[in-house]
Amino acid sequence: MDNRTSWIATRVTLGWIFLVAGVLVAFVGILSEINFSYAPFNFRLITGLGILLIGIGVGFLVRYRSALKDEQSARRLTVEERDERTVMIRDRAGNRAYIVSTSLIYTGLMWTSFASSGSLPALAGDVLWFFLAVCVVIPFGVYVGSILIDQQNS
Amino acid sequence: MKNRLEELRLKNGLTQQELADRVEVSRQTIISLENGRYNPSILLAFRLARLFGLQIEDLFLYTDEEENYG
């Protein structure tokens, strides 16, 4: 198995792992919803996570499985995804997003430390939810923005 | 970094896509290389140089400007 085929085979395996994990998680979510309907927790979140994983798995399989049989499409896929400039742009974007993410989390950590001594209001309830949402959305925005900018400039 | 990629590609009658296919990168990477906006990895530089039967330094022109790391 050459390097390219082995890379695609790994992606197909990853697709199966996501798919199986998704089915299991969704199944656990549905079972929990039926058996523990009295519990103060929305089990649909678990089912939703399972469906998301199934989607990712199916996406991987659709994209890479046909490439295992077709040399031309395998070549196109590997060039698309392993192109060194594309990889560099993604790595750079990931690095920037990581720095922003770490800074936000560090800010949260400091805020919590000050809040525990009463210097600042506590991060709780809606404020905590909003802060965590910012911690997810801002690094993602930085990642996407960085890719778009670098694709134009490099 | 300046290079002679476009000149050699045209001399050899290759399109950007054909050159990209030969060295297994995207067409966009070839465009960026030709515009001097992207410096290739040493492996890609070797692949390109070998394709045209040249040494790396005959293809990629290292100038004093490159000494400025900023």
Q: What does the pLDDT average to over A51-72? A: 90
Q: Is A91 on the interface with B (CB under 8 A)?
A: no
pLDDT for position B67: 66
Please state which of the ranges A47-56, A72-81, A100-109, B34-43 shows the lowest mean pLDDT. Answer: A72-81
pLDDT band at A69 (very low <50, low <70, confident <90, very high): confident
Beta-carbon contacts of A154 under 8 Å, excluding residues fewer than 6 positions away, are A85, A88, A89, B32, B37, B38
B70, exposed or middle or buried, with CB in 10 Å at 0-12, 13-18, 19+? exposed
Separation of first and last alpha carbons in chain A: 34
Rounded Cα distance, A76 and A68, in Å: 12
- Burial (0-12, 13-18, 19+ Cβ within 10 Å), A9: middle
The span from the CA of A138 to the CA of A20, in Å, is: 31
Percent of chain A with pLDDT over 90: 62
On average, the pLDDT of chain A sits at: 91
Using alpha carbons, list the distances in angstroms from residue A39 to A29, A34, A45: 13, 11, 13
Domain ranges of chain B: 2-65
pLDDT tens, B4-63?
A: 999 999 999 999 999 999 999 999 999 999 998 999 999 999 999 999 999 999 999 887
Region A47-62: what's the mean pLDDT? 95
Instruction: Choose among A78, A79, A154: nearest Cβ to B32.
Output: A154
pLDDT at residue A130 tops 60: yes
- Binning pLDDT at 50, 70 and 90, where does residue B68 land? low
Amino acid at position A50, single letter? G
Q: Is-contact B61 B47, C-beta < 8 A?
A: no
Among candidates B21, B25, B37 on the partner chain, residue whose Cβ is nearest the Cβ of A84: B25
Identify the band that residue A76 occupies on the pLDDT scale cut at 50, 70 and 90: confident
| Residue A52 and residue A60 in contact, taking contact as beta carbons nearer than 8 Å | no
First-to-final CA distance of chain B: 14
* Chain B residues near residue A85 by CB distance under 8 angstroms: 25-26, 28-29, 32, 38
Query: In terms of CATH, what superfamily is B2-65?
Result: lambda repressor-like DNA-binding domains (1.10.260.40)
| pLDDT band (50, 70, 90) for residue A71 | confident
Confidence (pLDDT) at B29: 95
Report which DSSP code applies to B67: G
Q: What's the pLDDT at A117? A: 87
A83–B32 CB contact, under 8 Å: no
Single-letter code of the amino acid located at A33: E
DSSP string across B11-51: HTT--HHHHHHHHT--HHHHHHHHTTS-PPPHHHHHHHHHH
Closest CA–CA distance from residue A124 to any residue of chain B (Å): 44
Choose the weakest-confidence range: A38-47, A52-61, A139-148: A38-47
Max CA pair span of chain A: 64
Shortest CA distance from B24: residue in chain A: A79
Retrieve residue A117's tokens: 């001594």
As a whole number of angstroms, the longest Cα–Cα distance in chain B is 36
